[in-house]
Amino acid sequence: MIIIGERINGMFRDIAKAIREKDPRPVQEWARKQEAMGAGYLDINVGPAVADRVSAMKWLVEVTQEASKLPLCLDSTDYDAIEAGLEVCKRPAMINSVPAIQEKMDRVFTMAAKYDAEVIGLAMNEAGIPKDAESRVALAMELVANCDAYGIPIDKLYIDPLALPCNVGQDHGPEVFETLRQIKLLSDPPPKTTVGLSNISQGTKNRELINRIFAVMAMACGLDSAICDACDEELVAAVATARILLNKDIYCDSYVDVFKSQNQ
């Protein structure tokens, strides 16, 4: 599972302040810290508190790139902000995200083709998040078909089946695992998969425990990546261990350290 480090997000107070004051230090510190912990991508989200999301995104991308060579995952519902970020990205980035809504897919896949970007597609549409696996997979198929129609290789598409907090939508859990399994049967090569990991534990008291157990269960169903806390040591160790148990990495006694250093 590739870790998409979630920490550069304007929802966090230090990042919001950094964006307001144009102070690159907190951003760059988190970029380096997440990279050292084994993140494969850095999520970049300007957060809700900014008026000019376009210029904030551009600034965040620029200062993050000064500190880290990791590819970026540009996270916004404002596609103009994403496009501004893509313009200044030095390496192909990831667009986070697009639902299975036609006009949004048209906008996002056009951008993805232009900037050679990967795309996170959400298994939801105008009607919201479906409850069962079949409906989620149907939306995933729409995303796959659109991705293909824009000439983007399917393995650049990451489908998020959308996990809900386990204390609210407990019945969604098994549907999400089943969706992950079925997504891998949609095409050859199949699309990749991702989740926003912290969603699953929103509002619970054992957030880190729930996050990491969900992560390894989902990995066994075909989860390729997650937007999560790269600095959660236990999570990173659990992911490294699951990769060994799934025969994705070759075992050695220092496998957790190797996992952390793999992108350096």
Partner 1 sequence: MAVEIYKEKYRSQVREVVLGATSADGGTRSHTIKVGGETALPFLHFEGENPNRPVIAMEVWDIVPEDWPANLKACFEDVYNDAAAWAKKCVEEYGADMIALRFKSADPDIKDAPVEECIVTLKKVLAAVGVPLIVYGCGKAEKDNTIMGPLAEAAEGENLLLGVAEQDNYKSVASAAMAYKHSVIAQSPIDINIAKQLNILISEMSTPLLDRIVIDPTIAALGYGIEYSYSIMERARFGALNGDRMLAMPMIGNVGHEVWSKKEAIISAEEQPGWGDQAERSMAWEATTAMALLQAGMDILVMRHPGAVKLVKQSIDELMQDNSY
Q: Smallest gap, in angstroms, from Cβ of residue 249 to partner 1?
A: 7
Residue with smaller CB distance to partner 1, 214 or 259: 259
Q: Smallest gap, in angstroms, from Cβ of residue 71 to partner 1?
A: 13
Per-residue CA distances from 27 to 35, 182, 237 (Å):
12, 37, 24
In the chain, what is the greatest distance between 2 CA atoms, to the nearest angstrom? 50
Residue with smaller CB distance to partner 1, 126 or 253: 253
**Residue 72 φ/ψ, nearest 5 degrees:** -105, 155
**Residue 71 φ/ψ, nearest 5 degrees:** -65, 155
Residue with smaller CB distance to partner 1, 128 or 189: 189
Contacts 24+ apart (CB under 8 A), 90-96: 90/65, 92/116, 92/117, 92/118, 93/117, 93/118, 94/4, 94/41, 94/118, 94/119, 94/120, 94/158, 95/119, 95/120, 96/43, 96/45, 96/120, 96/227
**HSE of 164, CA atoms in CB hemisphere, 13 A:** 16
Q: Smallest gap, in angstroms, from Cβ of residue 251 to partner 1?
A: 5
Burial class (CB in 10 A: 0-12, 13-18, 19+), 142: middle
Q: Smallest gap, in angstroms, from Cβ of residue 260 to partner 1?
A: 12
Residue with smaller CB distance to partner 1, 18 or 240: 240
Residue with smaller CB distance to partner 1, 78 or 251: 251
Q: Smallest gap, in angstroms, from Cβ of residue 257 to partner 1?
A: 7
Residue type, 148: D
Q: Give me the residues that bind partner 1 (CB under 8 A), please.
A: 249-254, 257-258, 261-262
Residue with smaller CB distance to partner 1, 35 or 75: 35
Residue with smaller CB distance to partner 1, 6 or 224: 224
Q: Smallest gap, in angstroms, from Cβ of residue 2 to partner 1?
A: 11
Q: Smallest gap, in angstroms, from Cβ of residue 148 to partner 1?
A: 16
Whether the Cβ atoms of residue 76 and residue 82 lie closer than 8 Å to each other: yes
